[in-house]
Structure 1
Amino acid sequence: MAGRLAILACGGALPVMLARAHPEALHFTLRGVPSELAASAQEFPLERIGALFAAMKEAGVSRMVFAGSLVRPTLDPSAFDAEMARLAPGLIAAIGQGDDALLRFVIGMFEEQGFAVLGAHDLLPGLTVEEGLRVGPEPSETDLKDAARAAHILGEISPLDIGQGCAVAGGQCLGIETVQGTDALLRYVAQTPAALRRGQRGVYVKAPKRGQDLRIDMPTVGPSTMDGVADAGLAGLVLAAGHVVILDRGAALARAEERGIFLISQALA
């Protein structure tokens, strides 16, 4: 019989969805990282990671899932327990290599302790968008070319570990998602003069980085993303099928329809 499931909860709606689907799961949070599950969770400072490992083992946890948006907490080296002191050099080195390297290191920390790390999509069937989903107006041939261009750009910058989204209009890159996130990118794109869009509205593409470990930080969209795309004057968005989470799915698809933008999912090279 499988051991208990733990949700390491960060911000956003995903931890709540997991908790509802798996009421037997235990909840843990990191001090300084906001989470809607905070009231039902055991909280540990990251500096005392050894205490978190011990609490999970004592509770019989064998499986765990990272959920939500992680805000990097400030570390106080004077508060490190023995386990964090051991891990700190590798952790600091990973931080300097980018988000993907950092998240891989964090997954490895828990796997080293014997915990099986699952992805949210492993625990919530239907969480990711399936191939062939189509909502809203039909994209034009130019829209599809812009989507292909955006997907190509994302593929080319994957080794740089920058972001998971790109907007293109008339073949011109309007913006690439960076550490500020999707909403910030779309607000930036909204400020782009029509003259720079080469007569086209443009398309936003969301996809993981090549080789990204999808058990943590999987690309995510929701109703607010639809508003952001529409407010940016873009014609629609294209999602990497099977590799992008869509939160509050019914509301998100309805919002795309209401705002007159298309949403399609397809395999992206």
Structure 2
Amino acid sequence: MSERSTLGIIAGGGMLPGLVAAACRSEGRPAHLLALSGHADPAVIAAAGLPVDWIRLGEAGTGFAHLRRAGVAEVVMVGPVRRPSLAELAPDWRTARFFARVGLKALGDDGLLRAVVGEIESEGFRVVGVDQVLEGCLAEAGRQAGPAPDEQAEADIARGVVVARALGAVDVGQSVVVQQGLVLGVEAIEGTDRLLARCGELARAGVGGVLVKLKKPGQERRVDLPAIGVRTVEAAAAAGLRGIAVEAGGALVLGRAEVAAAAERLGLFVVGITP
């Protein structure tokens, strides 16, 4: 990560914007937050201790102006963002021009994100991946915490990989829950937390299932890599799952030590797999 250029942090929800801000502070790198109203957590943004501007998703022109005034050269996009309706966006002229140009290409999440990255870079900014900012945030291969997966868990992981790859190929989701060879649920627009809550109600008797998270084939790595954190571990445990498998080198582990501690406390395994 450059030590001199100002990093623009386009902040969605969750804890990731705060982690990126903390990394910038620890390295002495100047940074500026562009927080998305209705998505970014005000408490996380306030605790980040960085200059901040708030915008709606539909205010691309205003956002670019804020980034330029802050002297931003590189931009990282972090945190989940729920896709709004066009009415919710109330787009300014810059955003409306973008949607008029990309049209139907923006229907899929990955296609939309690629278009957004291209739009930001067309304004003279360089988009970087969060793994270029947070060293050591990518999942490593092998068991990270908890007991070793048994034969049934390994079979469920393998089944989850097949299904997750198929989902990703059609740009649907990144997460699958499998129990005893049965697919309890797949992630669509609802996100992992709601997927886990739904699967908890569908769980069968006997040994619990597993959550598998993979990046999509050909995914734009600089945005929207699959991620797990302490909340994911807690939600998996509440759903009766036995463990979580994430793609080594292709998924983020947010707060590695905290995730491992939660997994050990709750008796879940966390493993990095290479599909």
Shift of 1:161: 1.4
Identity %: 36
Residue of structure 1 in register with 2:60 after alignment: 49
One-letter code of the match for 1:259?
A: L
Shift of 1:45: 3.5
1:61 aligned to 72, 76, 80, which one? 72
Q: Distance in 1 between matches of 2:255 and 2:110?
A: 26
Q: Distance in 2 between matches of 1:77 and 1:259?
A: 40
Residue of structure 1 in register with 2:185 after alignment: 175
One-letter code of the match for 1:16?
A: G
Q: Which moved more, 1:148-157 or 1:22-31?
A: 22-31
Q: Distance in 2 between matches of 1:43 and 1:235?
A: 40
Within-5 A mapping of 1:68-79: 68-73=79-84, 75=86
Q: Report the TM-score when normalising by structure 1.
A: 0.89
One-letter code of the match for 1:26?
A: H
Within-5 A mapping of 1:227-246: 227-246=234-253
Q: Distance in 1 between matches of 2:130 and 2:223?
A: 8
What's the CA shift string for 1:106-155, capped at 9, x where partnerless? 11110111211011111010111111233211211121111011001111
Equivalent pair of 1:183/1:228 in contact (CA under 8 Å): yes
1:90–1:20: structure 2 CA closer, same or farther, 3 Å change rule? same
Structure 2: segments with no counterpart, 5+ residues = none
Equivalent pair of 1:64/1:115 in contact (CA under 8 Å): yes
Residue of structure 2 in register with 1:215 after alignment: 222
One-letter code of the match for 1:207?
A: L
Equivalent pair of 2:167/2:174 in contact (CA under 8 Å): no
Shift of 1:75: 4.5
1:246–1:44: structure 2 CA closer, same or farther, 3 Å change rule? same
Equivalent pair of 2:5/2:73 in contact (CA under 8 Å): yes
One-letter code of the match for 1:118?
A: V
Q: Report the TM-score when normalising by structure 2.
A: 0.87
- SS at structure 2 position matched to 1:229: helix
Q: For this pair of structures, how many residues does the alignment match?
A: 264
Structure 1: segments with no counterpart, 5+ residues = none
Shift of 1:201: 2.0
1:192–1:85: structure 2 CA closer, same or farther, 3 Å change rule? closer
Q: Which moved more, 1:117-126 or 1:54-63?
A: 54-63
| Residue 225 in structure 1 maps to residue 232 in structure 2 | yes
One-letter code of the match for 2:21?
A: A
One-letter code of the match for 2:33?
A: H
Equivalent pair of 1:47/1:76 in contact (CA under 8 Å): no
Q: Which moved more, 1:25-34 or 1:58-67?
A: 25-34
1:174–1:77: structure 2 CA closer, same or farther, 3 Å change rule? closer
